[in-house]
Amino acid sequence: MRTPRFLSGLRVRLIFGFLLVSMAAVAAATVAGYATARSSLLAADQNSAVADVRQRVTALAPDLTYPPDQPSLDALAAQLPTGATVVYHDLRAPETPLDPVISPELQAAVRIRSRVEVQQVGTSKGPALAIGMPVLTRQLSGTSVPSGLEVYVVHDLSAIQQQINAQARMAWLTGVLAVPLAVLVALLSARGVLRPVRELRRATVRLSGGDLTARLQVRGNDELAELASTFNNSAAELERIVSELRRMEADSRRFVADVSHELRTPLSAMIAVTDILEGEASRMSDNAARSARLLVRETRRLTRLVEDLIEVSRFDAGSAQLVQEDVDAGEAVRATLDARRWTDAVQLELPDGLGARLDRRRLDVIVANLVGNALRHGRPPVSVVLRDTENRIELEVTDHGPGLSPDVLPHVFDRFYKADAVRTRSESSGLGLAIAQANAQLHGGDIQAGNWPEGGARFVLRMPRHNDTSGPIEF
């Protein structure tokens, strides 16, 4: 089962961890305080009770005659604390049965060890101390021997236990009251720790969104300050590298645009000359005719390359504009194929009356590049199908060649990309599909490349029939 995000956040975990530590510390301190207070209070009360009994017995014992009789025992018991019992062999004062809490083990320990013995016992009224004390007599030799007289006292500990319980309740209450303070401290601590993390996240989001000026404020000199400083250095270096790359790209685009436009004028003169050479080639010698035809072919190829570069430079400069008009999409596609004498080379499915608002020249570029690519690199039959789908026109161009390999498919619309390295001298400039995609996007559409399951490449152009886009796009 997945933990909800609000329970797995760093803030919540820090607060819970701080609370657990705080509560464990409070509980440990409370238990330790309770044990210490209980031990101290019990020890103090026990010492006080034993000292009181010893003092009284020590003061009264010298006046006794040995062996004592019953009246002497009664007189001694009357002067001891309430509940005291004096025992001498079979005599007992008072003559009531010995309190059950005074166990035989305690009596045996008093007789055998001849010293004060204390046991903590439980009574119906609560905890108590059972105190047993032998009365010693001093002989002429100066030694003390047991006289056979024993004093037993049951000292009530209820008041001490109530005091201990009161202190325990106060300790627990203090611990409970400390929890909100611990929560407050945890919140402040989590805020202090997580604030740099949140700032780092916001700065990272800004940086990933393209804002290369995102920076963090460095506070202090701890690990978080080092992290902020490292982020700032990385962001500054990234900004420098991206700025340099943008400058180089802009220089490259400007160079291509300038060279393309500069080549246009001499190419115009060359085209005029090659037109004359092409007409005179039939009256030339074989070698001269071959040279003339080669010059004509390469000049036309160079002209197409320059025109493509100029078109690309317009997209790069953001100056590409749509000149839209109402056209019959089927007639426009047929006109493109007729102008290039491709009508007999393809299978057409063009519905009549499929009106759309398009830039006729850019549609001609798109269709010419898609069909020309299929004719050059695929195998017949090449099929061109035009459809109307949900207020969009869809033009599908397919062939029956080997199709696009998986490593070629992601790059098919890249500039100057050619799937076959041996075709470097083909008439294709490597810009046709990139220009076609840019023109489709300028209309608010796109071109998708793929393969038929049974083989062959498949290009699908989709554009809205009525598009209000007229501004430049980024290419």
97 vs 460, higher pLDDT: 460
Lowest mean pLDDT among 61-65, 132-136, 269-273: 61-65
Whole-number pLDDT of residue 420: 55
Alpha-carbon span 475 to 120, nearest angstrom: 93
Whole-number pLDDT of residue 468: 56
Return the DSSP state at 433: H
3-state SS, residue 141: coil
Nearest 10 degrees: CA dihedral of 89, 94, 100, 103?
Answer: -30
Whole-number pLDDT of residue 363: 93
Whole-number pLDDT of residue 470: 47
Best mean pLDDT range from 187-191, 312-316, 447-451: 447-451
Whole-number pLDDT of residue 5: 46
Contact between 278 and 296 (Cβ < 8 Å): yes
Encode pLDDT of 332-369 as tens digits.
999 999 999 998 899 999 998 899 999 999 999 999 99
Best mean pLDDT range from 10-14, 129-133, 239-243, 315-319: 239-243
pLDDT at 384 over 90: yes
Alpha-carbon span 342 to 368, nearest angstrom: 10
Read off the amino acid at residue 361.
R
Domains recognised in the chain with CATH numbers: 5-165 (3.30.450), 224-316 (1.10.287), 321-464 (3.30.565.10)
Read off the amino acid at residue 188.
L
Encode pLDDT of 394-423 as tens digits.
999 999 988 888 888 888 888 877 665 434
Whole-number pLDDT of residue 327: 92
pLDDT band at 326 (very low <50, low <70, confident <90, very high): very high
**What is the b/e burial string over 364-388, where b = at least 16 CB atoms within 10 angstroms of the residue's CB?**
bbbbbbbbbbbbebbeeebbbebbe
Percent of the chain whose pLDDT exceeds 90: 16
Cα angle value 220/222/228 (rounded, 5°)? 75
Average pLDDT over residues 252-267: 72
pLDDT band at 424 (very low <50, low <70, confident <90, very high): very low
Long-range contacts of 195-204 (CB under 8 A, 24+ apart): 196/224, 196/227, 196/228, 197/10, 197/224, 199/228, 200/227, 200/228, 200/231, 203/231, 203/235, 204/231
